[in-house]
Amino acid sequence: MLQHPRRQFFTDAVDTELAFALENFGADPQRIRDQVGAVVADLGLADFAGSRLRELSGGQQQRVACAAAVAHEPPLLLLDEPTSNLSPQGITELTAVLRGIRERGVTLVIAEHRLYYLRELADRIVVLRDGRVEKVLARAEFAGLTDEMMRAAGLRSLDPPADLSMTPAFAYGPSVESGVGRTAAGTVDQNAPVATLSGPDAGGGIVLRDIVCAFRGHRVLDITKAHLPAGVITGVTGPNGAGKSTLARILAGLQPHGGRVLLDGHPLSRSRRQRASAIVMQDVQRQLFTDSVTAELRLGAIAEHASSADTVLAELDLDGYRDRHPLSLSGGQQQRLVVATSRLSGRRIVIFDEPSSGIDRRHLHSMTQTMRDVATGGAVVVLISHDAELLTLAADQELRLRPIRPRG
């Protein structure tokens, strides 16, 4: 199971993808039906088992990739960053599935940076550094490591993420789970923080009005009003399928939608948003275009920020890779390279969609500082993430989305 599941799909629909390996092995049709039904139930895919893969969120695609990998009951299962796009609930569900697979005698090898869910799952932990084995730990040794020890080794925390407690963004509508908005009487909530209430009427940053987006007749995003101020980092959270990446595409002008997007009080068309925005996608290989790290930085950098390239490379631990081809870098290094290009782009709207995939603790802090520098420069910064560690470090306010239930 690859870090970015889109790269391993062979069909265009969930059900045919789940059946693909079994069909190639010449399995009996009834066994294929039984196995597909079993993995759909085990991984909670029933709500979208008949969907097209391109219509699913990144987290939903990750769950499909996991189901497709186990449907033919392999004796060995390799997983590369399997939680990178999953919500906390999705990680809990995946952990239970992996435990069940292990109990059936399957060997699991998991390459991972998020570690807390492995505390009671992994039997042996191998710590790698620069391509070499640094430590081998038994489960009891691993579980006994303190946070200070983990920090010294550059590893993520072993403690489950705490419940986030962030200032809610000014937002309301069917897609908004929590935010500062209007009361049932239609008046502004007087208990809301003054800073959030002063923004929408002042017009600073982005204001969304009556944003609606639908796929195949089903609304996936419906926000009546929201304010994303300039100079702060807005964390966009919510379960898989809540419309977070759809919101990112709308803000970047890549997604048709109903309603209006205003920047500093002025309507901004989709084409103008495309010119005013930079986005770090979940699968950053789609955003690498040149033959060296240096050329990649120069491609999108504006003249006034070009002199900062060396500093940004050093901060993100990429200064030793200047002449490397971007596609020869690791997934985490590619992620940091695209973050660096967004830092130098000088765009007014900068969107980070799950930027911490493949990122260790040290680089989590350097990435946070890069996002903070972008916000300090006056940009509207949107951070879409399930990563509680990153959100705690970086986000100033939270826009929490929820899936829209079909009518009827």
Alpha helices in 145-237 (DSSP H): 147-152, 194-202
Domain count, the chain: 2
The span from the CA of 55 to the CA of 161, in Å, is: 29
Calpha distance 105→120 (Å, rounded): 17
Mean per-residue pLDDT, 381-402:
92
pLDDT at position 2 is: 85
242 part of a folded domain: yes
User: Which percentage of the chain shows pLDDT scores above 70?
Assistant: 92
The yes-or-no verdict on residue 193 having pLDDT over 60 is no
- The rounded distance, in Å, linking the Cα atoms of 146 and 178 is 34
Instruction: Report the pLDDT value the prediction gives residue 406, as an integer from 0 to 100.
Output: 61
pLDDT score recorded for residue 378: 93
In this prediction, residue 3 carries a pLDDT of: 78
Mean pLDDT of 216-239: 92
Residue range 79-84: mean pLDDT, rounded? 87
Is pLDDT of 219 > 50? yes
167 is a domain residue: no
Per-residue pLDDT, averaged over 282-298, amounts to: 89
Residue where a domain terminates, one of 111, 126, 152: 152
pTM: 0.80
Q: Which residue has the higher pLDDT, 372 or 304?
A: 372
Query: Can you tell me the mean pLDDT for 266-276?
Result: 95
For residue 407, what pLDDT band results from cuts at 50, 70 and 90? low
**CB contact burial 343-377 (16+ within 10 A = b; e otherwise):** bbbbbbbbbbbbbbbbbebebbbbbbebbbbbbeb
Q: Which domain holds residue 294?
A: 228-259+266-401
Span of 73-77, 178-182, 278-282, 339-343 with lowest mean pLDDT: 178-182
**Confidence tier at 286 by pLDDT (50, 70, 90):** confident
Same domain flag for 232 and 331: yes
In this prediction, residue 131 carries a pLDDT of 87
Residue 81: pLDDT band (50, 70, 90) is confident
State the chain's mean pLDDT as an integer.
87
- The per-residue pLDDT for 180 is 62
pLDDT surpassing 90 at residue 86: no
Most confident of 157-166, 261-270, 351-360: 261-270
Provide the pLDDT for residue 179: 63
**Are 272 and 378 in the same domain?**
yes
- Are residue 122 and residue 248 in the same domain, yes or no? no
Same structural domain, 283 and 372 = yes
> 389 by DSSP, 3-state: which?
helix
Once rounded to an integer, what is the mean pLDDT over residues 326-345? 90
Region 345-368: mean pLDDT is: 88
Q: Do 143 and 232 have their domain in common?
A: no
Which CATH number belongs to the domain containing residue 82 in this structure?
Answer: 3.40.50.300
Q: What single-letter amino acid sits at 173?
A: G
- Mean pLDDT over 197-207 rounds to 59
Q: Which residues contact 324 (CB under 8 A, 6 or more apart)?
A: 292, 293
The predicted structure's pLDDT at residue 358 = 73
Residue for token digits 């944003």? Answer: 211
- What average pLDDT score do residues 276-290 get? 90
The neighbour count for residue 136, using CB atoms within 10 Å, is 10
Chain CA centroid to CA 98, Å: 21
* Reported confidence tier of residue 195, pLDDT bands at 50, 70, 90: very low
Give the confidence band of 363 by pLDDT, cuts at 50, 70, 90.
confident
For residue 33, pLDDT over 80 is answered with yes
pLDDT of residue 140: 92
152, 170, 190 - which closes a domain: 152
Residues 389, 251 share a domain: yes
Which of the four pLDDT bands, split at 50, 70 and 90, describes residue 189? low
Residue with more model confidence, 160 or 384:
384
The domain boundary, picked from 93, 120, 152, lies at 152
Arithmetic mean of pLDDT, 142-163: 85
Do residue 237 and residue 119 come from a single domain?
Answer: no
Please write the tens of the pLDDT for every residue from 126-142: 999 888 999 999 999 99
Question: Whose CA is closest to 62, among 402, 403, 386, 401?
Answer: 386
In angstroms, the Cα distances linking 51 to 10, 16, 46, 48 are: 15, 10, 10, 5
- Among residues 200, 196, 250, the alpha carbon closest in space to that of 221 is found at 250
Q: Are residues 232 and 377 in the same domain?
A: yes
pLDDT of 88 strictly over 60: yes
Q: Judge whether 244 lies within some domain.
A: yes
